[in-house]
Chain A
Amino acid sequence: MTDTPIAVTMDGHVIEAAPGASLIQAWMSAGLPLTENVGCMGQGVCGACRVLVRRQGERIAQAALACETRAEAGMQVSFVDHFSARRTHAYDLASMTDSWAALGAIDAVFPEAKSCRHCGGCDAACPKGIEVQKAVILAVEGRALAAGALFDHCIMCNLCVAACPEHIAPAHLGQFLRRMGASLSLRPGDLVLRLAEIEAGRQTIDLDAPQP
């Protein structure tokens, strides 16, 4: 690896990046202010550092995370805002106590999902490579857990929300399915037993034991 700096253009600034640097590190070491589009700073989990990246010789810009993408010569990069869903898809998990009604709730809360036009915009927008469109189709078919599982790596960057022309809000749909699945059907036996012991007063703590 050489030490020759790499020239990239970020939000209109021509930046010299150190070889191996991520885009967000390149931006910071150029001394540019970083007060948004940043969070976990390298772990790729918070979804804040959304960027569009066009590599040299390519025509199409790709969505990516600036902390996970290394600077390459001639890259053109722009930060992307956080887009909220156009409307809130409201539901109250605590009142969803009848699991027979759960599948019906998918269409009641996310009626737009059945209008998916299979444009693939959500898939192209996802920086994590999630099969968003497939998940939406599975959700419409009522396959709640399978659809929710496809959102396992979702970081709630909301780029699929911005990309969808039908305002399906796929990331929120994914969270709805996942949350519904856990809250309605995850009942670990050891946890339930321990909670019962605590409630029965059979798990008290002796504050004075032990001593150093």
Chain B
Amino acid sequence: MSDDTQSPSRRSLIKTMMFVPIGAAAATGVVRALQPATAADANAPEGKPNTYTPAFFNQTEWKFLSAAVDRLIPHDEHGPGAIELGVLEFLDRHMQTPYAAGDIWYMQGPYVSAKPEFGYQGKLPLRDILRVGIKNVDGYCASQFGGKAFADLDRKQQEEILKGCEGGKLKLEDISAKLFFTNLLNETRNGYFADPKHGGNKDMGAWKMIGYPGMRADYLDWVEVRDKPYPIGPVDLAGRRG
């Protein structure tokens, strides 16, 4: 199907996706609409859909992340999941910061391999660790599951792939699966727990789950209280109370 023969509705949908300002509510449902109506739908997370339009990740990467962060921090009886708290928005925005471009890392060569005790020795900054990792894991899945991307696998299969990355058993072409996984997990946790101003942790949902009072930063009157849980809900950097 060429662009010319696309239905008006699909054309306008793509147009909408490309031009809505970041964070605008108008794009609600875009991400879901662009996913194949197969396994991904069956895997659709509970809670509110993500309304953010990515400016860093492309569609393929976005699809991967939508599935991966939902496996890493799912919605369950313990509390909200990564998707509904806006971890995807966090990731996309965070990858556009100088930090993700390697701003505070030493990035000069030569790049040599060293024992794990010496830490990361590669040349990729964070944003490229994620990009290259996503491409490689999707490539691995395609080779193992008849052309299917990671996001098209069922939940069990996705979890197995992530475990393979975590333990370093899975071998990827261009990057250490373990390195990719560690960075993806750290960033997912950062998005889940950081202040809502960074795009995730919507309505301080993750803080409420663990009982973190957020940015209250004043506990002198409660230091010596032993018999009662801390009673006050969280507050964020913008002064909102949860």
**Chains A and B bind each other:** no
Residues on B facing A (Cβ under 8 Å): none
